[in-house]
Amino acid sequence: MNTFTLFFKRECQLLLKNSSAIGQPLCLFVLIALLFPFSVPSDSLGGNGVLSQIGGSVIWVAVLLALMLSLESLFKDDLRDGLIEQWLIGHRSVPLAVFAKVAAHWCTTGLALVLMAPIIAVTYALPWDLFAVLALSLLLGTPSILLIGAIGAALTVTLERSGLLITVVTLPLTIPILIFGASTLGSSAQGFSIATELYALAAIAVLAITLAPFAIAAALRLTIE
Amino acid sequence: MSLGEFLYMGGHAPYVWTSWGLSMLAILSIFILAKRRNARIRRRLITQLQRKDKFDV
Amino acid sequence: MFSILNRFYHQLGSPKEFYPISTVTTPIFGLLALALFIPGAYLGLVVAPADYQQGDSYRIIFVHVPAAWLSLMIYVIMAVAAAIALIWRMKMAFAVVICSAPIGAVFTALALITGSLWAKPTWGTWWVWDARLTFELILLFLYVGIFSMYHAFDERRIGERATALLSIVGVVIVPIIHYSVEWWSSLHQGQTVFRDGGPAMPPSMLTPLLLMAGSATFFYGYALFLNLRAHVLEENKGKQWVQGMAKKWIKRG
């Protein structure tokens, strides 16, 4: 079986078996996203209020944070089981293997968040025509977020409780994704074309897909003796 | 320009002097902290060596 | 030619060779920094005429721009040193990465704060979320992240390697900051010095600016070398050559 399929399948099985692996990021996302309606004054209900204006951005931020914090467990279990060392001395391509792991992570956790986002968007009274924009921007942006975050996860894999450090370290690098992603909603609401932002998100995704796996593999090699 | 004009900076004195003041403070702090770090490590090396000499007798 | 490079590589790469060289070069950097600062500050604060539009507040440029240039330059040096460190396993290169991070962070913060103090009288607002300011802020977070990462590791060797890789990954932000004023229509002033066709600034302004920038660069070298010396001593305290030096310090009193 080729490397990608092997690692992808295994990772998906592990993630789906352990319900908290997807459940926790999802819950975190919902909790963060629902904090704002509680804190924003109640005369902003309805289509023109503050909530519907910031809804897209809040959802983007919540997705970003939930994904960042979900990455802590990406390599921890494999490290504990001694698997990472085996990969590093084995004959299979490590960049491809880690790419498969992150891909599996995206297909489960990432997609779950992208599917949950429109449901939360309803509570923000987001205009209906922006739902497709939201979903598209998230679809293009979340793979890059996971890939960049995985670099942080690989660098800190030997540390205890690295969740916050991963966030501190890789969040700055994901801010451009956040900027482009969230601005698709603002531009779209004003009737402007969102082609630039989408191209930028796609370009970042392409760069991330081609380069990040090598950085992740290098990080694993450097931090594990 | 006169000293008065110099300090007054055309009405923008608080901005200009705070900027320059903070910059000088930052430079000075970097300098002092580096010097103290060096002094600290030297002191530590010396005391460790002196302690070792005591035992080696 | 090759033998010179070889000697250079061995001398600067090894902490033991570096230390005596730095004893001589460090004060030189410090003196050069001071020597450029005095005329730079005098020309900038006293001699240069007030700006037609901004009045005297523009004099902040002479600390703001050097701080900003340095914030970018230090990161590039860090990233290059990180690459050298990882490829050639050079201890001094790792040391440059780790010792530069706090200095870079200070200059970045200074650029942001002085920029803000300049923005208020000029644009009427302390902060605006335009491209260049936003990315400079991200750069500050990167420096802090690098700093945090290094200190999170108990084992220094792994910590310095992880920090080096992180610096390289983050270097993509630097060109974005530099070109951000071209790519996005920005409130921040466009390129006035580093542009095709040469600087668009009168000599009365350009000269103190370049002097202050030169002074800041030498100050970075000075601060870096001071910290490298301390770092080298801390990391090599068990070694013969350090112990030998400590004995000499005791003898000298």
Chains adjacent to B (≥3 CB pairs closer than 8 angstroms): C
Contact C50, C133 (CB under 8 A): no
* Residue B11 placed within a domain: no
Question: Could you give the C-alpha distances from A196 to A183, B23, B43, in angstroms and in order?
Answer: 10, 39, 59
Of C118, C222, C237, the CB nearest to B45: C237
Per-residue pLDDT of chain A (225 residues; tens, 9 = 90+): 788 998 999 999 988 888 888 899 999 999 999 888 888 766 555 556 778 888 899 999 999 999 998 998 899 888 888 888 888 888 888 999 999 999 999 999 999 999 999 999 988 888 888 999 999 999 999 999 999 999 999 999 988 888 888 888 999 999 989 988 998 998 888 888 888 889 989 999 999 999 999 999 999 999 987
Predicted pLDDT at B9 = 72
- Cβ <8 Å between C165 and A165: no
* Residue B18 placed within a domain: no
- Neighbouring residues of C115: CB distance < 8 A, sequence distance ≥ 6: C64, C68, C133, C136
Number of domains in chain B: 1
Contact C112, C140 (CB under 8 A): yes
Contact C135, C180 (CB under 8 A): yes
Residues of chain C neighbouring A168 (CB-CB closer than 8 A):
141, 144-145, 148
Q: Closest-CA residue in chain A for C153?
A: A159
Predicted pLDDT at C132 = 80
* Residue B4 placed within a domain: no
Number of domains in chain A: 1
* Residue B48 placed within a domain: yes
Residues of chain C neighbouring B41 (CB-CB closer than 8 A):
230, 233-234, 237
Please name the residues between 27 and 86 in chain C that touch chain B, using a CB distance below 8 Å.
45-46, 50, 55-57, 59-60, 63-64, 67
Contact C185, C64 (CB under 8 A): no
The CA distance from C220 to the nearest CA of chain B, in Å, is: 9
Per-residue pLDDT of chain C (253 residues; tens, 9 = 90+): 677 777 767 766 788 888 988 999 999 999 999 999 999 999 888 888 877 777 788 888 999 999 999 999 999 999 999 999 999 889 999 999 999 999 999 999 999 999 999 888 888 888 887 778 888 898 999 999 999 999 999 888 899 999 999 999 998 777 776 776 666 655 566 666 666 666 777 888 889 999 999 999 999 999 999 999 999 999 988 888 888 888 888 888 7
Contact C96, C81 (CB under 8 A): yes
Count of B-C CB contacts under 8 Å: 95
Chains adjacent to A (≥3 CB pairs closer than 8 angstroms): C
Residues of chain C neighbouring B18 (CB-CB closer than 8 A):
117
List the one residue out of A151, A172, A51 whose CA is nearest residue A95.
A151
Predicted pLDDT at C194 = 65
3-state secondary structure A81-122: CCHHHHHHHCCCCHHHHHHHHHHHHHHHHHHHHHHHHHHHHH
- Residue in A68, A144, A207, A222 to test binding to C, most C beta-carbons within 10 Å: A222
Residues of chain C neighbouring B19 (CB-CB closer than 8 A):
60, 63-64, 113-114, 117-118
Mind giving me the DSSP string for C89-141?
Answer: --HHHHHHHHHHHHHHHHHHHHHHHHHHHHHHHHHS-S----HHHHHHHHHHH
Tokens of A69: 């914090």
Residues of chain C neighbouring A151 (CB-CB closer than 8 A):
169
Q: Which residue has the tokens 């996005």?
A: C184
Predicted pLDDT at C188 = 65
- Cβ <8 Å between C148 and A168: yes
- Alpha carbons within 13 angstroms on the beta-carbon side of residue C49 total 7
Residue B25 has pLDDT above 90, yes or no: yes
Domain that residue B40 falls in = 30-57
Phi, psi of C239 (to 5 degrees): -75, 155
Predicted pLDDT at A111 = 94
Predicted pLDDT at C183 = 66
Of A169, A215, A219, the CB nearest to C145: A169
- Report yes or no: B3 at the C interface, CB cutoff 8 Å: no
Q: What span, in angstroms and rounded, lies between the C-alpha atoms of C16 and C10? A: 10
Of C152, C165, C173, the CB nearest to A222: C165
- Report yes or no: A159 at the C interface, CB cutoff 8 Å: yes
Predicted pLDDT at C190 = 63
Residues of chain A neighbouring C166 (CB-CB closer than 8 A):
152, 155, 169
The CA distance from B43 to the nearest CA of chain C, in Å, is: 9
Mind giving me the DSSP string for C179-199?
Answer: HHHHHS--SS---SSSSTT--
Predicted pLDDT at C135 = 83
Q: What span, in angstroms and rounded, lies between the C-alpha atoms of C130 and A39? A: 27
CA–centroid distance for C145 within its chain: 16
Helix (H, G, I), strand (E, B) or coil at C229: helix
Ordered by start, the domain boundaries in chain C are: 18-252
List the one residue out of C6, C162, C209 whose CA is nearest residue A162.
C162
Q: Closest-CA residue in chain B for C230?
A: B38
Strand partners, C51: C55
Question: Could you give the C-alpha distances from A216 to A111, A178, B43, C112, C234, in angstroms and in order?
Answer: 22, 21, 42, 32, 31
